[in-house]
């Protein structure tokens, strides 16, 4: 939804003559980190949810005991509950993870 909002307000400004067409070039830079985070998160979360080791095991899940892995799964779910339910804007999270302001 945020991708559509980002692109639609930019298109409106450009088509209305209120902004230069170069504004559209900022879309990818602003939204790519969000998309990358979503894909990476989904892959890791799906693997954890199914009890598998994520292919991109950036958290060392493969070295965890079963109890540690269960605790990690619960922590990931709690920390990202708004994200997985689709109820929160991700500006805060993505900015913290990627160091850039995302709109």
Four-CA torsion 56, 60, 63, 66, nearest 10 degrees:
-90
Tens digits of per-residue pLDDT, 40-99? 777 777 777 777 777 777 778 788 888 988 888 888 878 777 666 665 554 444 444 444
pLDDT the model gives residue 92:
47
Q: Are 73 and 59 in contact (CB under 8 A)?
A: no
Tens digits of per-residue pLDDT, 53-62? 777 777 787 8
Q: Using DSSP, state whether 20 is helix, strand or coil.
A: coil
pLDDT the model gives residue 33:
83
pLDDT the model gives residue 15:
94
What pTM does this model have? 0.52
Burial pattern 42-53, b for ≥16 Cβ within 10 A else e, equals eebbebbeeeee
């Amino acid at each position: 939804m945020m991708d559509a909002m980002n692109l639609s307000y930019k298109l409106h400004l450009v088509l209305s003559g209120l902004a230069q067409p170069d504004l559209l070039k900022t879309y990818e830079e602003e939204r790519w980190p969000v998309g990358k985070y979503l894909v990476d998160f989904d892959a890791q979360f799906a693997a954890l949810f199914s009890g598998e080791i994520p292919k991109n095991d950036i958290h060392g899940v493969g070295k965890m005991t079963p109890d540690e892995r269960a605790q990690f799964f619960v922590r990931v779910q709690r920390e990202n509950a708004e994200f997985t339910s689709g109820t929160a804007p991700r500006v805060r999270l993505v900015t913290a993870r990627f160091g850039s302001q995302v709109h």
